[in-house]
Amino acid sequence: MTSSCPRPTQLPRRPPAVEETSAGGVIIEVHHGVARVAVIARRNRAGRVEWCLPKGHLENDESLEQTAVREVAEETGMVGRVLASLGTIDYWFSTSGTRVHKVVHHYLLEATGGELSIEGDPDAEAIDVAWFPLVDAHLHLTFPNERRIAQVAWERLAGER
């Protein structure tokens, strides 16, 4: 009598995962007594416009704060100085057979110069940039986690934290 064992079912292989670290920020300018934030627009892979906070990858030996200042300047045209950390967000996405775990460190920046423009974006990811009142930023930002970061910025400026 021969017994046949069932063959083990092969599970689909998970694509490899990579870790990415980015930094960016909420750059604030007070205009006629109203704190406003520079927000950029990008097209996602489906072609839809998403309004988001400026951010990007660390380069060379940059610190997180240096990256935030550089990325904000490149994507918004505004030069700023870091006032405080606003926290981090992390999320997963897939691209070309790879799973990416991205961690983004956000900072509150005070605008010290520059002019609103996307012309300095070396990757040409930003398609537009605009000022929005910080108190209303949640109405314009596409992603809930970035709306939360804008809320933390508002609370910091209002002295609630």
Long-range CB contacts (within 8 A, 24+) of 61-66: 64/21, 64/23, 64/105, 64/107, 65/23, 65/107
Secondary structure class of 151 (helix, strand, coil): helix
pLDDT tier at 98, thresholds 50, 70, 90: confident
Q: Give the Cβ contact number of residue 6 at 10 Å.
A: 5
Q: What is the pLDDT of residue 6?
A: 62
Task: Residue 132: name the closest of 73, 47, 52, 42 by CA.
Answer: 52
Q: What is the pLDDT of residue 158?
A: 84
More confident residue, 108 or 17: 108
- Per-domain residue ranges of the chain: 23-157
Assigned token pair, 28: 């604030």
CATH number of 23-157: 3.90.79.10
> Is 78:72 a contact under the CB 8 Å cutoff?
yes
Assign residue 77 a region (left: φ > 0; alpha: ψ between -120 and 50; beta: otherwise): left
pLDDT in tens, 13-72: 777 889 999 999 999 999 999 999 999 999 988 899 999 999 999 999 999 999 999 999
> Is 106:72 a contact under the CB 8 Å cutoff?
no
Beta strands in 32-116 (DSSP E): 34-43, 49-52, 55-57, 78-95, 98-114
Q: Give the Cβ contact number of residue 40 at 10 Å.
A: 22
The pTM (predicted TM-score) of the whole model is 0.86
The alpha-helical segments, DSSP class H, found in the chain are 64-76, 144-157
